[in-house]
Amino acid sequence: MTWETTEGLVAPEVAFDFSGQVVLVTGGTRGIGRGIVEAFRAAGALVVACGRQRPPDGWVDHDNLRFFALDVRSAEAAPEAVAAATGHFGRLDVLVNNAGGSPPADAANASPRFSQAIVDLNLMGPLHLAQAANAVMQTQDSGGSIVNITSISGLRPSPGTAAYGAAKAGLINLTQSLAIEWAPKVRLNCISAGLVATEAADDHYGGVEGMAEVAATVPLGRFGTPADVAGMCLLLASPWASYVTGANLVVHGGGERPAFLQAAERSHGAP
């Protein structure tokens, strides 16, 4: 099967079957989250897409796709979101904690309120949702799978978004810890995403020309797409990954070419 991404690209054929399974995706109405929702729907899943605002285009109004308004930073809202999924579809098989992000901020001047909000969004929110999902999944014969979308900012320094990088690093560790605590019924894995082409990325990197310059620094020569991340979500939530838990799958096109190599090449006159 194939599915069309939000950029109009068609993702490769996949062989995943999530027919009858219920999937909840946070931050699921745009960007990477919307790509994840589309992928699970194409694989036959019943999906609850969470976001702070309902999409205006009627995209979520389908029998196999429902919308639930959710501010991930609210601990009280987490069990309500899970209850909405189980109340409508009767069960919950997969949770994808995708909501996250941060505007740039100078760590020296960031207010405590700002930093707390970033940590709540990127670390505590996924924890609260995972707890609520786990409570349901532990009662199901088939258990369940939780996939946390983190970032390469959690694996390297994150200047300009220090609280975000620290929260994502915490989410990686949280995934590993909960994978041990909640086994064998519930599997937890995370995806450390690199540069992904979304509307937010377009704004951040200065449009087409800026994104092309940045893409040239990636070994694979391009930004990732929401479908690239979505495909890995399907894999980790599927029976193909039944012996995979506590893993961090890095999806970054090969990473970043080391700066010292570029400096050495310039010093030797290399083009």
Do residues 163 and 115 lie in contact, with contact meaning Cβ atoms separated by under 8 Å? yes
Do residues 189 and 148 lie in contact, with contact meaning Cβ atoms separated by under 8 Å? yes
Integer CA distances (angstroms), 206 to 48, 100, 213, 214, in order:
33, 21, 10, 10
Buried b (16+ CB within 10 A) or exposed e, 191-221: bbbbbbbbeebeeebeeeeebeebbeebeee
In DSSP notation, 55-86 reads: -TTSTT-BTTEEEEE--TT-TTHHHHHHHHHH
Distance between CA 120 and CA 118 in Å, rounded?
A: 5
Distance between CA 142 and CA 236 in Å, rounded?
A: 15
Residue entry with tokens 């479908």: 227
Q: Pairing between strand 144-151 and 46-51?
A: unpaired
Q: Catalytic site residues?
A: 164
Q: Which two tokens stand for residue 259?
A: 């700066």
